[in-house]
């Protein structure tokens, strides 16, 4: 199958993205427009130079810290209700134009409050943008996953959960909060610190995922499973080195949210060909193929599927099954609202 044939085939499928971050998915042109509005652009920079601060550059960037640096500039513009609402609408539009019909968007409200917004106002602005797009495109469904940052600690995670309770999906006619996540530097902040927060999320009726095993070893995934009881694991790349853990994931039905391009860029794997995705699939581990940060990684979900086909020789039937499995893992209350064509 040629590259064009692969692209055409993937474009024929409805897709689900279960792991996409708000601040890593904003259109560079929107941020440039806002920079001109607030600062008459950035002194000394043109648009192409500005983009370097937002997007990975293979010739200049090498480490996880380089990757994380890309999130600093967008935060200047995501402190205002109307900007968040606009960006959320555009995020939905970009996803829809890439063939995505089910999106789970994760956001940490605390980092968007520097101009005085509350956590609930940040989420309300996000819901508003998504809801507006959803009314225009009723075949598109979206939910919000709230992130607590590891470095903020377990107490702040519980406070955040209590504050956003009123934004839960079932309290609104349409878009709302469907899940809870932790993200950030793994090494100094083990999962056990967030056990009480995850217990609270369970009592609140939220589904649970957790970033684990991206920058640290398989022990962090074991700990997340034992202490947090997640339905899904974000990345989980290091599980590829632990056969017993792979079996546990398969036996317990815990889904991995796999993001190929970002895993290479952050150094979770050394090169795409060594990604454990085929190992996970062969072992019966549930997998959702996701984007992570489309702007930072300069990718799309359809491109991630193309990479999977190119690197691992996945067939059309393999891709259909992967797309079907990805959608089945959603936290949305109505489940997957579309069907992938049957395998041939």
Q: pLDDT digit string (tens) for 252-293?
A: 999 999 999 999 999 999 999 999 999 999 999 999 999 999
Polymer length in residues for the chain: 344
Residues 311-338 have a mean pLDDT of 96
The pLDDT tens digits for 50-94 are 898 999 999 889 887 889 899 999 999 999 999 999 999 999 999
Nearest CA-CA partner of 53 in 39, 72, 34, 40: 72
Catalytic residue list: 214
Residues 310-314 have a mean pLDDT of 96
| Reported confidence tier of residue 37, pLDDT bands at 50, 70, 90 | confident
| Reported confidence tier of residue 248, pLDDT bands at 50, 70, 90 | very high
Residue pair 102/288 in contact (Cβ under 8 Å)? The answer is no
**Does residue 116 belong to any structural domain of this protein?**
yes
How far is 200 from 183, CA to CA, in rounded Å?
A: 17
**Does residue 97 belong to any structural domain of this protein?**
yes
| Buried-exposed string 199-236: b where 16+ CB fall within 10 A, e elsewhere | ebbeeeebbbbbbbbbbbebebbbbbbebbbbbbbbbb
The pLDDT tens digits for 153-209 are 999 999 999 999 999 999 998 899 999 999 998 999 999 999 999 999 999 999 999
**Does residue 113 belong to any structural domain of this protein?**
yes
Is the pLDDT assigned to residue 42 strictly greater than 70?
Answer: no
| Reported confidence tier of residue 43, pLDDT bands at 50, 70, 90 | low
Looking at residue 211, the DSSP 8-state letter turns out to be E
Is the pLDDT assigned to residue 41 strictly greater than 60?
Answer: no
How far is 48 from 50, CA to CA, in rounded Å?
A: 5
Which residue has better confidence, 35 or 240?
240
Is the pLDDT assigned to residue 219 strictly greater than 80?
Answer: yes
**Does residue 278 belong to any structural domain of this protein?**
yes
**Does residue 276 belong to any structural domain of this protein?**
yes
Residues 24-38 have a mean pLDDT of 93
| pTM assigned to the model | 0.96
Contacts of 333 (CB under 8 A, 6+ apart): 169, 170, 178
Q: Chain-wide mean pLDDT for the chain? A: 95
How far is 41 from 33, CA to CA, in rounded Å?
A: 8
Strand order in the sheet with 287-289: 15-21, 100-107, 141-149, 177-183, 207-212, 232-235, 255-258, 287-289
Position 342 scores a pLDDT of: 83
* Token pair of 320 as six digits: 């259909």
**Does residue 314 belong to any structural domain of this protein?**
yes
The DSSP code sequence of 269-338 is SSSGGG-SHHHHHHTT--EEE--B-HHHHT--HHHHHHHHHHHH---HHHHHHHHHHHHHT--STT---S
**CATH code of the domain covering residue 242:** 3.20.20.140
Which residue has better confidence, 228 or 341?
228
**Does residue 78 belong to any structural domain of this protein?**
no
Structural domain of 160: 3-27+87-328
Position 45 scores a pLDDT of: 79
**Does residue 69 belong to any structural domain of this protein?**
no
Position 235 scores a pLDDT of: 98
Distances (CA, A) of 230 to 84, 115, 124, 142, 147: 28, 33, 26, 20, 14
The DSSP code sequence of 181-207 is EEES--TTS-GGGGHHHHHHHHHTT-E
Q: How many domains are contained in the chain?
A: 1
């Amino acid at each position: 199958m040629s590259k064009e044939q692969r692209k055409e085939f993937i474009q024929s499928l409805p897709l689900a993205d279960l792991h996409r971050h708000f601040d890593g998915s904003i259109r560079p042109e929107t941020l440039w427009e806002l920079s001109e509005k607030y600062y008459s652009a950035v002194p000394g920079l043109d648009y192409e130079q500005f983009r370097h601060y937002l997007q990975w550059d293979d010739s200049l960037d090498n480490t996880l810290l380089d990757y994380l640096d890309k999130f600093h500039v967008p935060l200047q513009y995501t402190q205002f209700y109307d900007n968040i609402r606009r960006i959320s609408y555009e995020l939905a539009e970009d996803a829809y134009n890439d063939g995505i019909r089910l999106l789970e968007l994760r956001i940490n409200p605390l980092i968007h409050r520097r101009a005085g917004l509350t956590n609930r106002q940040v989420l309300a602005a996000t819901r508003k943008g998504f809801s507006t797009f959803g009314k225009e495109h009723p075949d598109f469904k979206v939910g919000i996953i709230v992130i607590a940052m590891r470095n903020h600690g377990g107490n702040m995670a519980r406070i955040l959960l209590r504050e956003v309770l009123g934004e839960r999906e079932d309290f609104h006619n349409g878009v709302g909060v469907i899940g809870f996540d932790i993200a950030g530097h793994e090494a100094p902040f083990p999962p056990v610190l967030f056990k009480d927060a995850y217990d609270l999320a369970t009592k609140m009726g939220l589904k649970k995922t957790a970033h684990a095993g991206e920058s640290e070893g398989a022990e962090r995934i074991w700990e997340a499973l034992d202490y947090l009881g997640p339905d899904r694991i974000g990345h989980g790349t290091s599980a590829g080195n632990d056969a017993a853990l792979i079996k546990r994931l398969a036996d317990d039905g815990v889904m991995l949210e796999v993001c190929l391009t970002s895993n290479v860029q952050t150094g979770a794997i050394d090169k795409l060909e060594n990604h454990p995705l085929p190992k996970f699939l062969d072992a019966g581990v549930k997998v959702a193929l996701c984007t992570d940060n489309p702007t930072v990684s300069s990718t799309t979900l359809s491109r991630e599927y193309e990479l999977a086909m190119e690197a691992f020789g996945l067939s059309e039937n393999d891709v259909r099954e992967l797309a079907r499995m990805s959608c089945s893992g959603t936290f949305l209350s109505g489940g997957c609202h579309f069907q992938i064509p049957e395998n041939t």
